[in-house]
């Protein structure tokens, strides 16, 4: 494959990565702010069901599946963009992203498990409503730790990605630096939560600029793409 063809592929997949960033960021925001739902108290189950708003919960699962599909596309796209820059680091980034996707998908499976448990009528022959509610609560308790664990792999992949974009001068230094800072926070927060007892919930706010970054850089990549300098050398 000649240099011109390779660069055309890089331009195309950089824009595809930008579109994917926009899609998974919007899906995540919709899931967390518009489709957020809670489990009903045991006394409210006969009226509301185990999940307060089951339709929102179902749509939330769909948003999560859509989000990880977009993350997968973004991961593959960045691999294609960065492979000519540094093949080994590009492969490392893709591997870390795939681990993130697998762990995140496990969290989605537990959400689907909650839905299944709440709708299996035959379970009432074996368990009472309070016991089924307890099973759903146990399943739900896995979801957030799984996501937080996946952030470590997402953070490592993101730091390497924007380091390579910075070294190759494919995007402005401002975007690359913001990206490295954003993804570093994704590594540090789960580690801090694991090692510091009673970590204040407000510490999570440090990651909010990350969601803004992914949306903003996605728009940038989709509209502007990357700029490949002449006589660009690999990082290696």
Report the residue count for the chain. 236
Is-contact 8 226, C-beta < 8 A?
no
In this prediction, residue 41 carries a pLDDT of 87
The pLDDT-based confidence of 232 (bands split at 50, 70, 90) is: low
CA distance 104 to 99: 8
Q: Which residues of 5-36 are buried (b: 16+ CB within 10 A; e: fewer)?
A: eeeebbeebbbbbbbbbbbbbbbbebbeeebe
Q: Does an H or E element contain 101, and which?
A: helix 87-119
Is-contact 167 85, C-beta < 8 A?
yes
pLDDT in tens, 31-77: 988 998 889 888 888 778 899 999 999 999 999 999 999 999 999 99
* Number of other residues whose CB lies within 10 A of the CB of residue 135: 16
pLDDT reading at 149 higher than 90: yes
How far, in Å, are 71, 101, 124 from residue 97 at the CA level?
A: 8, 6, 41
pLDDT reading at 122 higher than 80: no
pLDDT in tens, 158-196: 999 999 999 999 999 999 999 999 999 999 988 888 888
The pLDDT-based confidence of 210 (bands split at 50, 70, 90) is: confident
In this prediction, residue 10 carries a pLDDT of 96
Looking at 30-53, list the stretches that DSSP marks H as alpha helix, in order from N- to C-terminal side: 45-48
């Amino acid at each position: 494959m000649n240099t011109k063809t390779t660069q055309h592929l890089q331009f195309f997949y950089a824009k595809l990565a930008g579109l994917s960033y926009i899609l998974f960021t919007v899906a995540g925001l919709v899931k967390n702010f518009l489709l957020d739902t809670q489990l009903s108290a045991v006394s409210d189950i006969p009226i509301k069901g185990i999940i307060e708003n089951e339709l929102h919960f179902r749509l939330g699962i769909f948003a999560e599946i859509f989000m990880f599909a977009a993350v997968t596309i973004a991961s593959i796209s960045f691999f294609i963009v960065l492979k000519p820059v540094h093949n080994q680091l590009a492969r490392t980034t893709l591997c870390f992203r795939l681990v993130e996707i697998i762990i995140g998908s496990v969290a989605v499976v537990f959400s689907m498990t909650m839905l299944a448990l709440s709708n299996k009528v035959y379970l009432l022959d074996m368990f009472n409503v309070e016991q089924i509610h307890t099973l759903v609560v146990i399943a739900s308790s896995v979801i957030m730790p799984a996501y937080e664990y996946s952030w470590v792999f997402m953070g490592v992949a993101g730091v390497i990605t924007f380091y390579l974009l910075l070294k190759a001068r494919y995007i402005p230094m401002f975007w690359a630096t913001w990206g490295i800072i954003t993804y570093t926070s994704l590594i540090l927060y789960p580690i801090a939560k694991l090692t510091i007892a009673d970590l204040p919930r407000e510490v999570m706010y440090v990651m909010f600029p990350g969601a803004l970054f992914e949306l903003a850089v996605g728009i940038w990549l989709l509209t502007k793409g990357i700029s490949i300098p002449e006589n660009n050398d690999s990082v290696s």
